[in-house]
C-alpha cells in the first residue's frame, strides 16, 4: 500500500493512500471496448485504437502523452501495442485520476437535458430508461424527494452535489 506525506503546520505525518480498483461494470465495459477497438483481432490494440478507446471513455489526451503511456505500459514487447493486461493497467491509472465530483457534475449535466440546472421526473425517467434500469415512477419520485432540498420537485446541481458530498465523497 502506498502512503502520501501530509504536511499540517509544523507536523508531517503519513496517510494510507486508498488503492483504486475498477468496478466489475467498468471492467466489463473496458473488455467490450478493448474487443471492439481490437479491429484486427490480434489481442492487442495499437496507438490509434487506444486513442479511440480513451476518447470513447471521455479521456482527452495529447499525442505526446499517449506515446508516453504506450512506452510505460508496453513493457514486454516494445511494439507500441497493448495487450489486455497492459490496457487494464493503463485504464486503471486513467480512471484513478478522475475527480469523482467532476464526474458527478458531468452526470448531472447529462440528465439536465434542458440545461436549466435542474433535473425533473421526466429527465430521470429518460436516464433510467437509457441505462436499462427498472425503476417505477414511485421509486423515481422517492429519488427526487431524497435529493430535493428545496422541496420544489426538482433536483438542482447544488442538491445533487450536497447529497453526494454527504454520502460518497471524502
Grid cell digits, residue 57:
471513455
Residue 5 belongs to a domain: no
Confirm if 92 and 109 have CB atoms less than 8 A apart.
no
Residue 90: what pLDDT? Answer: 93
Q: What is the pTM of this model?
A: 0.58
Domain, as residue range, for 35: 24-96
Domain final position from 49, 76, 96:
96
Same domain, 143 and 113: yes
Confirm if 124 and 143 have CB atoms less than 8 A apart.
yes
Residue 2 belongs to a domain: no
Confirm if 62 and 51 have CB atoms less than 8 A apart.
no
What's the average model confidence in pLDDT over 29-37?
A: 91
Domain final position from 96, 113, 129:
96
For helices 157-167 and 137-147, angle between their N-to-C axes, nearest 10 degrees: 80
Higher-pLDDT residue of 151, 106: 151
12-41 b/e with 16+ CB inside 10 Å = b?
eeeeeeeeeeeeeeeeeebeebbeebbeee
Lowest mean pLDDT among 16-20, 25-29, 116-120, 139-143: 16-20
- Strand pairing partners for 16? 3
Amino acid at each position: 500500500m502506498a502512503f502520501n506525506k501530509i504536511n499540517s503546520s509544523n507536523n508531517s505525518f503519513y496517510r494510507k493512500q486508498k488503492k483504486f480498483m475498477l468496478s466489475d461494470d467498468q471492467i466489463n465495459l473496458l473488455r467490450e471496448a478493448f474487443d471492439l477497438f481490437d479491429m484486427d483481432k490480434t489481442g492487442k490494440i495499437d496507438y490509434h485504437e487506444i486513442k479511440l478507446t480513451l476518447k470513447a471513455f471521455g479521456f482527452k489526451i495529447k499525442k505526446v502523452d499517449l506515446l508516453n503511456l504506450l512506452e510505460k505500459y508496453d513493457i514486454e514487447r516494445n511494439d507500441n501495442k497493448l495487450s489486455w493486461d497492459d490496457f487494464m493497467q493503463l485504464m486503471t491509472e486513467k480512471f484513478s485520476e478522475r475527480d469523482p465530483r467532476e464526474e458527478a457534475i458531468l452526470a448531472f449535466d447529462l440528465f439536465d437535458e434542458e440545461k436549466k440546472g435542474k433535473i425533473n421526473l421526466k429527465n430521470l425517467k429518460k436516464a433510467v430508461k437509457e441505462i436499462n434500469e427498472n425503476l417505477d415512477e414511485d421509486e423515481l419520485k422517492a429519488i427526487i424527494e431524497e435529493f430535493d432540498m428545496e422541496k420544489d420537485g426538482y433536483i438542482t446541481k447544488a442538491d445533487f452535489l450536497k447529497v453526494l458530498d454527504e454520502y460518497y465523497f471524502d
